[in-house]
């Protein structure tokens, strides 16, 4: 399982993501956008876009990264998605997927963004642990427990779209994780840390192979990543199960 971890100026969490994929059994490789050429992505089994502040989040978060990808390898990315191979974006990577028009993907790939990850309702950078409820089994979530705990670190994470797009997302069953409170009730701030509509924390496209998530699974891969790890022992960190879901799915598909 070859994973292309895309990089550019301002991305971060590449190393945590690399370690998570490596520990799961995949073969991750860093791939800087400056070195991307046509046809290069074809040999990979997955594209991963990490978090960070690509290009300083100028214009909009993820907008410059998306524009550069479109200018260099847009046809290759479209072919990659339409072939059914998985694409995953975390935090800033989620923002890039929105800007590319790959998400929300209610009716396939869009030429223009159909949603946004806006400034948090708190109007501040939110860095905290949140609780998530799994609402759909996908190639990215099928091995995850129904409730997990992951950290967020973003200033622009409020998922927003028109009522029509939100309805399509819900009707299609594209929401993968929602923010919940610790007692699994309707989350208010800070449990929904950004004010996302319908408490949306992660979605998948209508094909099921493009996944965007605001919380960071790579920062919760090992049990000792969790702030309560001495009080609540775990065999694995909660983020591990997202990487494991992917690894199992891709390997099963390749063995058929």
Query: How far is the C-alpha of 42 from the C-alpha of 40, rounded, in Å?
Result: 6
Query: How far is the C-alpha of 206 from the C-alpha of 188, rounded, in Å?
Result: 28
Q: How far is CA 117 from CA 13, 209, 229, in A?
A: 19, 20, 31
Where is 63: in which H helix or E strand? helix 63-82
Which of 227, 202, 199 has its CA nearest to residue 90? 202
Q: What is the 3-state secondary structure (H, E, C) of 145-157?
A: CCEEEEEEEECCC
Percentages helix, strand, coil for the chain, rounded to the nearest 5?
Answer: 35, 25, 40
CA 219, distance to chain mean position in Å, is 13
Active site residues: 91, 216, 218
CB neighbour list of residue 183: distance below 8 Å, 6 or more residues apart: none
Could you tell me if 115 and 159 are in contact, meaning their C-beta atoms sit under 8 angstroms apart? yes
116-118 and 158-160 strand pairing:
antiparallel
């Amino acid at each position: 399982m070859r994973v292309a971890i895309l990089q550019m100026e301002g991305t971060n969490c590449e190393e945590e993501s690399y370690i998570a994929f490596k520990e799961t059994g995949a073969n991750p490789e860093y791939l800087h956008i400056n070195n991307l050429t046509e046809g290069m992505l074809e040999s990979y089994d997955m594209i991963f876009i990490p978090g960070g502040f690509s290009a300083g989040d100028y214009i909009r978060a993820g907008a410059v990264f998306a524009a550069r990808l479109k200018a260099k390898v847009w046809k290759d990315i479209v072919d990659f998605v339409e072939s059914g191979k998985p694409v995953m974006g975390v935090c800033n990577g989620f923002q890039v997927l929105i800007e590319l028009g790959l998400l929300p993907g209610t009716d396939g790939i869009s030429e223009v963004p159909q949603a946004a990850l806006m400034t948090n309702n708190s109007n501040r950078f939110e860095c905290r642990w949140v609780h998530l409820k799994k609402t759909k089994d996908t190639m990215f979530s099928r091995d995850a427990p129904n409730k997990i705990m992951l950290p967020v670190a973003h200033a622009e994470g409020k998922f927003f779209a028109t009522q029509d797009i939100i309805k399509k997302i819900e009707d299609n069953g594209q929401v993968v994780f929602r923010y919940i409170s610790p007692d699994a009730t309707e989350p208010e701030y800070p449990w929904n840390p950004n004010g996302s509509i319908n408490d949306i924390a992660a979605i998948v496209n209508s094909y099921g192979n493009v996944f965007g998530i605001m919380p960071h699974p790579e920062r919760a891969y090992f049990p000792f990543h969790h702030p309560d790890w001495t009080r609540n022992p775990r065999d694995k960190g909660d983020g591990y199960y997202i990487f494991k879901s992917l690894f199992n799915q891709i390997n099963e598909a390749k063995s058929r």
